[in-house]
Chains A and B, each alone.
Chain A
Amino acid sequence: MITKMNHVSIFVLNQDSAYDFYVNKLGFKVHTDAAMGPGMRWLTVCPPGQPELEITLMAIDEGMMFKGEAAAQMRDLVKKGTFGFGVFECDDLKATYEELKAKGVEFKKPPTKEFYGYEALFLDDSGNWFSLGERSKTTS
C-alpha cells in the first residue's frame, strides 16, 4: 500500500534562478543542495508547512534524462507555460497574493471566485504555473 509521496519534480530552466524564486520569493526551505559533479546539482526545497515533501528543482539539461533534442524541446515547452505542476495552499489567499506580488511574482490570475472556491494562478521563473488556494476552499 502506498502511504505518501516524498519527492516530486519541477523542471526548471536554471537552478540558480529557481533557487532564488522558490527560496527567496516563495519562502520555501532548502532541504538538500548537493553538487554531484561538474555542472550537476541535486536541489530540493520544501514548502514551509510540509517538510516531508521534497520538491526537486530539476535542471533541463541534455544528458541521461533528456536525450538529443528532447532537452531543447522541453525547455521550449516550459518557457511557453505549457506545464501546470500542482496546487499550493496558503492560510490567507488575499494576503499571500499581495505578498508574492510585492516580491515580484507574476500572477496569471488574481484571487478569483470559482465554483470550487477562491483561486489565483502564478508562474515560476521558468514559466511553470501553479494554482494557489486557501485550505478550507481547496479541500471543501
Chain B
Amino acid sequence: MYPKMYLYKRIVQSRLFIDSHYAEAIDLDNIADEALFSRFHFIRLFSSIFGQTPHQYLTSLRIEKSKELLRAGESVSSTCFAVGFESLGSFTSLFKRRTGQNPSLYRRQMMEREDTIKQNPLHFIPGCFAEQKGWKNSNFEEMKAC
C-alpha cells in the first residue's frame, strides 16, 4: 500500500464534501479546518492531488452541474442559483469563459440535440449495432404511437 494513505483519505473526504455541498455557500476555510489542515497546507495538498485548487475545483463542478441542468431544460436563472452561484452576471460570464458559449445558447443547442435524438435516434447509433440488435425505424415509430 501507499505510504501516507491517511493524508489522502482526508483530502479525498474534503473533495467529497465539496461534491455533495457544491450548491451551498461553501467556506473553503471551514473545509480546511474539518480536514485538520492549515489553509495553506490544505490548498497545496489538494492542488498536488487533483491538479487544481479547491476553489477552482468547486467552480468547475458548479459549471459541470449547470450544464446538466441546462441540458435538462432548466432556465438559466434557476440553474445559476441551483448550483450555488449568487449572481446571474457572474455565472453567465464564468460559464462563457469556461465553455466558450453563453448559457442560453448552450441550453438551446443541447435541447435541440435531445429533440433530434428523440425524433431520429438511429442517426446517433453506429449502423452495425442497430442492425445486430434489430433496431429499425419501425421500433421507435411503434414507441411514439404508445
Chain A residues within CB distance 8 Å of chain B: 7, 9, 32-38, 40, 42, 56, 63-65, 91-92, 94-95, 98-99, 102-103, 110-112, 118
Query: In the assembly, what is the distance between CA of A12 and CA of B127, in Å?
Result: 21
Contacts of A38 in B (CB 8 A): 139, 142-143, 146
Contact with A along B45-74 (1 / 0, CB 8 A): 000011100000000000000000000000
Question: Are A35 and B143 within 8 A (Cβ)?
Answer: yes
**Contact of B142 (CB < 8 Å), options: A9, A37, A111:** A37
Interface of B is mostly: helix
* Closest chain B CB from A8 CB (angstroms): 11
Query: In the assembly, what is the distance between CA of A63 and CA of B11, in Å?
Result: 47
Known pairs A99-B12, A102-B16, A111-B1; A34 contacts B125 (CB<8 A): yes
Interface residues in B, total, Cβ within 8 A:
30
Name 14 A/B residue pairs within 8 A (Cβ), A-sorted: A32-B117, A34-B121, A35-B143, A36-B121, A38-B139, A40-B135, A42-B125, A56-B129, A65-B133, A95-B8, A95-B49, A98-B5, A111-B1, A118-B2
Query: In the assembly, what is the distance between CA of A95 and CA of B49, in Å?
Result: 7
Contacts of B135 in A (CB 8 A): 36-37, 40, 42
Contact with A along B1-44 (1 / 0, CB 8 A): 11001001101110110000000000000000000000000000
Contacts of B11 in A (CB 8 A): 95
**Contact of A63 (CB < 8 Å), options: B117, B121, B125, B134:** B134
Query: In the assembly, what is the distance between CA of A33 and CA of B110, in Å?
Result: 13
Query: In the assembly, what is the distance between CA of A118 and CA of B2, in Å?
Result: 9
Question: Are A37 and B12 within 8 A (Cβ)?
Answer: no
Question: Are B121 and A102 within 8 A (Cβ)?
Answer: no
Question: Are B117 and A37 within 8 A (Cβ)?
Answer: no
* Closest chain B CB from A42 CB (angstroms): 5
Query: In the assembly, what is the distance between CA of A121 and CA of B16, in Å?
Result: 21
- The yes or no answer to B100 lying at the interface (CB within 8 A) is no
